[in-house]
Structure 1
């Protein structure tokens, strides 16, 4: 019987310009080095251009196609002109991923890592019930919690501690696999 893996879903949350994308792009090579396949799903609060204007697939979309797909020998890109039903539906598009990082999602019930930078905030904005770790350049004593309750057991990582953070995430993934 084929062994089924359980995906680790983690939101990388924080206020605007806290460093979520920077953290994710630093983590990806560190997770890949640990042989973990990682996908990223980002919510955009604004409409975005899903294809490159002027390409054949963009022209097909502009002409009314309900979706387009372009592929090569190593990758493909699909654009569907239809709203996603749920985050779970989007997660299901990556069955090959060991880990899925959701960029944003600070108000979701997904387990999360919050990025907090002194330059733009001293306050955690995530519900402590779902907070798994904090990546920051401030001390535990300086941190304030919007929810009003301090959580002592949450691990803290420095902004530049990519390797220890990746190892911690790897251990979370392994723990999830052992619960199969």
Structure 2
């Protein structure tokens, strides 16, 4: 069974990560277990040349896990991006909610982050009308068919997330 999940989406440079940091902190202070998936459309490498884990992966390991008393990291090669639903079901069974950054084309419910100075248009309303949009966190008043939350009030955003996905 997959955990509940919610995507924060926006155009690059709008402040998704900054808002997510604050919402995660707020939800953690309320006692929730939170998972996060960051979508990266580009290639990334969490290993560093010279480290044993990087050397083992570079040698051809298809799956490499590094573990310490406090955390673990898994590097798993695959031929194509896995569906978000598979990632959630496989890795997040121990959390109350998974927040994702990105995955704007997924079927997950979404909060769009909107900053007036960054863009006059929304991703999920306008040319496209994404039915999975549940709210917009904005720094300007907007007339929409979904709640508009104050981008600069992460506690209000966390209240909405808690009421809608954790109650």
TM-score by length of 1: 0.83
Equivalent residues in 2 for 1:54-93, closer than 5 Å: 54-82=50-78, 83-92=80-89, 93=91
Residue among 90, 100, 113 paired with 2:98: 100
Do 2:3 and 2:92's aligned partners in 1 also have CA atoms closer than 8 Å?
no
Equivalent residues in 2 for 1:34-73, closer than 5 Å: 34-73=30-69
Runs of 4 or more consecutive aligned structure 1 residues displaced over 3 Å after TM superposition = none
Do 1:39 and 1:97's aligned partners in 2 also have CA atoms closer than 8 Å?
yes
Q: 1:16, 1:84 → 2: CA distance?
A: 20
Equivalent residues in 2 for 1:10-25, closer than 5 Å: 10-25=6-21
Give structure 2 stretches of 5+ with no counterpart.
none
Residue 108 of structure 2 corresponds to residue 110 of structure 1: yes
Q: 2:132 maps to what in 1? A: 130
Do 1:41 and 1:101's aligned partners in 2 also have CA atoms closer than 8 Å?
yes
Q: 1:53, 1:22 → 2: CA distance?
A: 29
Offset of residue 157 of structure 1: 1.4
Give structure 1 stretches of 5+ with no counterpart.
142-149, 176-180
TM-score by length of 2: 0.89
Residue 134 of structure 2 corresponds to residue 163 of structure 1: no
Q: 1:178 maps to what in 2? A: none
